[in-house]
Amino acid sequence: QAGSHPYFNLPDFTQPSPPSTPPSLPSHQRCQPSDATKGLLVALLGGGLPAGFVGPLSRMAYQASNLPSLELLVCRCLFHLPIALLLKLRGDPLLGPPDIRGRACLHALLNVLSIGCAYSAVQVVPAGNAATVRKGSSTVCSALLALCLESQGLSGYDWCGLLGSILGLIIIVGPGLGTLQEGTTGLYIALGYVLAFLGGLTLSLGLLVYRSLHFPSCLPTVAFLFGLVGLLGSVPGLFVLQTPVLPSDLLSWSCVGAVGILALVSFTCVSYAVTKAHPALVCAVLHSEVVVALILQYYMLYETVAPSDIMGAGVVLGSIAIITARNLSCEREGKVEE
Each residue's pLDDT tens digit, 170-192:
887 777 666 555 556 667 777 88
Q: Encode pLDDT of 141-178 as tens digits.
A: 777 776 676 566 666 766 777 787 778 778 877 776 66
Question: Does the pLDDT of residue 208 top 80, yes or no?
Answer: yes
Q: What pTM value is reported for the model? A: 0.76
**pLDDT recorded at residue 326:** 65
Q: Encode pLDDT of 87-129 as tens digits.
A: 999 888 888 888 888 899 999 999 889 888 887 887 777 776 7
| 157 or 218: which leads in pLDDT | 218
Name the average pLDDT for the chain. Answer: 78
Q: What is the dihedral of CA 171, 148, 322, 290, to 10 degrees?
A: -40
Question: Does the pLDDT of residue 17 top 80, yes or no?
Answer: no
Question: Does the pLDDT of residue 78 top 90, yes or no?
Answer: yes
Residues 6+ apart with CB under 8 A from 89: none
Strand-pair partners of 330:
33, 337
Strand-pair partners of 331:
32, 336
Q: Are 288 and 83 in contact (CB under 8 A)?
A: no
Helix (H) or strand (E) holding 67: none
Confidence of residue 264 (pLDDT cuts 50, 70, 90): very high
CA dist 55 and 69 (Å) reads 11
**pLDDT recorded at residue 154:** 64
Q: Are 304 and 337 in contact (CB under 8 A)?
A: no
Lowest-confidence segment of 12-21, 28-37, 42-51 by average pLDDT: 12-21
